[in-house]
Amino acid sequence: MDQHGKHSESHEPETEGNGEESSIAPGGIVVGVDGSEHGQCALIWAAREAERRQLPLHVVTAYSVPIFAASGLDGGYATVDDSVIRDGAEAIVKQALEKVSGYAIDVDGSVENGDASGVLLDLSETAELLVFGTRGRGGFVGRLLGSVSSALPAHSKCPTVTVPLFCADRLGETTEDKHIKAERAKAGSRVVENVVAVGVDGSEQARVAVLEAAEQAQRMGAKLRVICAVPEYSGSLAWVPAPLDREALFKDIRVQLDAGLAWLKSHFPKLPAETQLLDGSPVEVLVEVSRGVELVVLGTRGRGGFAGMLLGSTSDGVLHHAKGPVLVVPDREDPRLADRVKFGPMLGAA
């Protein structure tokens, strides 16, 4: 397989209807497609990222054969012809491979038999990055953002990127979605800065996300913007013994953000980076930020603030309402975290 625009196609599903496990274990970048506009946006973003990282791209679609209770007296079950569904899935993969054939990447594709989210989670075991679209209305992407949507960013073994249809124009794609068109008209035009923004909340997981965001900013030739948003205190914090001086609070956070930036620059000395301390709900702030930057990066499994909320009841607020791609970084060990304490006070530290 040539690394300059040529691709191989794999049209046979790697799993059979008998439930055998797939033998496929692609590395590099994996992107889920379903033939929709949403999947097309994810495909283009993933192809560009594969070029940036000089990694292979694996295009996958998943299907399951529906089983219906039979209405006959035998009380059995009726199934849809597997070959019909498989042929349609293979056509989707073939179309996707043709669409990215001009990129200087190694690319192949496969059709998998099984639940879409389960298939992608399995592939995340060996992938470096998992990419999928948002706001599907059925089929592959629809299942991804249905009742199991949180399974992908929260449980993936590798970082995930969700690519919303809202940013189709950034990727040279068009959309006929009337809701997206109406939202764009209401929001007006906005210049997208060559910036990677990362949300922090003082957790160790957020610091892992900062390191990943810095690496991504380097790949994209972008500036890194570290954002900390401080929400207004609510009744849930009624145990606070005395009114907090918000100005003093912001001053303390600023000192810690500056220390964090000094630490980051020690590992990425040539990367242009800045911090931003904002007043407001972290979810609302970062959804708005996503309109004007190339990428928003978030951590998972934080103990509070934004990263903590990602896996709570407000996760949909960021992942489903962002106006640009969102990279979610799973919790993991990183030796660079060890020297953070040398640079001064840390958010979230006792």
**DSSP string covering 276-316:** EEEES-HHHHHHHHTTSEEEEEEESS-SSHHHHHHTTTTHH
Integer Rg of the chain from CA:
22
Contact 39, 165 (CB under 8 A): no
Arithmetic mean of pLDDT, 54-78: 72
Token pair for residue 93?
A: 């993969």
What is the reported pLDDT for 325?
94
What is the reported pLDDT for 173?
87
Arithmetic mean of pLDDT, 136-163: 62
Could you tell me the pLDDT band of residue 74, with boundaries at 50, 70 and 90? low
Arithmetic mean of pLDDT, 21-33: 76
Share of the chain above pLDDT 70, in %: 73
Domain 1-65+80-189 annotated CATH 3.40.50.880: no
Please give the Cα distance from 64 to 112 (Å, whole number): 9
Decide: helix, strand or coil at residue 200.
coil
Please give the Cα distance from 346 to 350 (Å, whole number): 9
pLDDT tens digits, residue range 262-306? 999 999 999 999 999 998 888 899 999 999 999 999 987 644 444
Domains 1-65+80-189 and 190-350 share a fold: yes
Q: Which stretch of DSSP H or E encloses residue 326?
A: strand 326-329
Domain boundaries, the chain: 1-65+80-189, 190-350
pTM: 0.83
Decide: helix, strand or coil at residue 60.
strand
Among the four given CATH numbers 3.40.50.300, 3.10.20.30, 3.40.50.620, 3.10.290.10, the one describing domain 190-350: 3.40.50.620
pLDDT tens digits, residue range 41-65? 999 999 999 999 999 999 999 887 6
Contact 192, 293 (CB under 8 A): yes
What is the reported pLDDT for 345?
85
Q: What's the distance, CA 308 to chain centroid?
A: 16
Could you tell me the pLDDT band of residue 79, with boundaries at 50, 70 and 90? low
Average pLDDT, the chain: 79
Between 14 and 257, residue with greater pLDDT = 257
pLDDT tens digits, residue range 194-204? 999 999 888 88
